[in-house]
Amino acid sequence: MRTINYIVVHCTATQPDAKIESIKKYWRDNLKWKNPGYHFMIKADGVVVNTLPIEQISNGVAGWNSQIINISYIGGIDKNNNPKDTRTPDQKASILKLLRELKSKFPKAKVQGHRDFPNVHKACPSFDAKKEYSGLQ
């Protein structure tokens, strides 16, 4: 297993009802990515989908991915495509449960949002993950 220094929370920056298959198709066909953007994706109904084994490297934060497990909730923008925390109560509960499980496997990993990395000019994940999950550190 590679060394995991960060567990990073993202949003997909799509509408909350976007389908995982169509997001994966976008990565593959438009961005030409070989691997998915995230290891886990959390649907609006709280279902967690493992999109890549954690041993492999996903495409969440440019330059940092070798040391990251990337997770993302589906949503993160409003109807006008502006950043918005669209997490449902089910998503919030599933994210927290998943983060707890990952932290127990990788106790030294820091939990933070995509935007908490240097030189990231995105709102992702559209809420303050570092603050919200400070109790997990």
Size of the site for Zn ion (CB under 5 A): 3
Structure tokens at 18: 């976007």
Closest approach, Cβ 59 to Zn ion, in A, equals 10
Residue number with CB closer to Zn ion (1 or 76) = 76
Residue 87 in the binding site for Zn ion (CB under 5 A): no
Residue 115 in the binding site for Zn ion (CB under 5 A): no
Residue number with CB closer to Zn ion (1 or 121) = 121
Among 4, 6, 7, 10, contact with Zn ion (rule: CB under 5 A)? 10
Residue 123 in the binding site for Zn ion (CB under 5 A): no
Residue number with CB closer to Zn ion (10 or 54) = 10
The residues binding Zn ion (CB under 5 A) are 10, 114, 124
